[in-house]
Amino acid sequence: MACYMEGYGAGEEQRWRWIKRVLFIGLPSVLLLVAAFFYFRTWSQERTVSAFLSALEDKKYEEAYRMWCTPEKPCRYYPLEKFKEDWGPSGQYGNLTALKFENIDYCESGVVFEGTYPNAQPFGLWVERSSGMISFAPWQRCPGKHLQFGPFFRRIFG
C-alpha cells in the first residue's frame, strides 16, 4: 500500500527541470539571436562599401561611379569628372589607406558610415538599403537616439 506522502514534490522537481532547461538553453539562444541580428543587420551595406572602396583602389572609377549613380538614377550635380576629382589619387577622399569608419549607424531607409581622415572633417557615406546606392549623407550620424555598442565597448576596453 502506497504511503500518503510518497508522491510529494515530484511535480515540483519536474517544474525545476523545465526552468533549468529554459534558463540554460533558451536564454543563451535568444541572446545569440539578438547578437547575430545586430551584427548582421548592416552586412549587405558593409559589403557594398567594401566593393566601392575596392573599385576605387583598383582605379576603376567608372565601376565605383555606377555604385554612386546609375543610368536609371543619374547624378545631375555630381558628374563623373567631379567624382574622379574627389575620389581620385590627388582628391579630397583619395587617400583610402588613411580612411577609417568610426561608426556605422542603422537608419530607417539606409546605413550611414562615419568616415574620418586624419586632420580632416568627418563625413558620412550613405548606403540605401533598398537599392544599394552610395552617396554622401547629409549628416555624419543618423539623427535620433541609437544603441551605441561599439563606442561603449571601445570606451570600456580601450
| Residue spans per domain, the chain | 41-157
Phi, psi of 152 (to 5 degrees): -65, -50
Which amino acid would we find at residue 56? L
Query: Can you give the pLDDT at residue 61?
Result: 93
DSSP secondary structure of 56-84: HHTT-HHHHHHHH--SSS--SSS-HHHHH
Q: Burial letters for 33-71: b for 16+ Cβ neighbours within 10 Å, e otherwise?
A: eeeeeeeeebeebeebbeebbebbeeeeeeebbebbbee
Which pLDDT band holds residue 90 (cuts at 50, 70, 90)?
A: confident
In this predicted model, what pLDDT tens digit does every residue of 48-75 receive, in sequence order?
999 999 999 999 999 999 999 887 878 8
**129/32 Cα distance (integer angstroms):** 24
In the predicted model, is pLDDT for residue 1 greater than 60?
A: no
In the predicted model, is pLDDT for residue 2 greater than 70?
A: no
Which amino acid would we find at residue 135? S
The DSSP symbol for 40 reads: H
Which pLDDT band holds residue 148 (cuts at 50, 70, 90)?
A: low
pTM for the complete prediction? 0.76
126-149 mean pLDDT: 82
77-96 mean pLDDT: 90
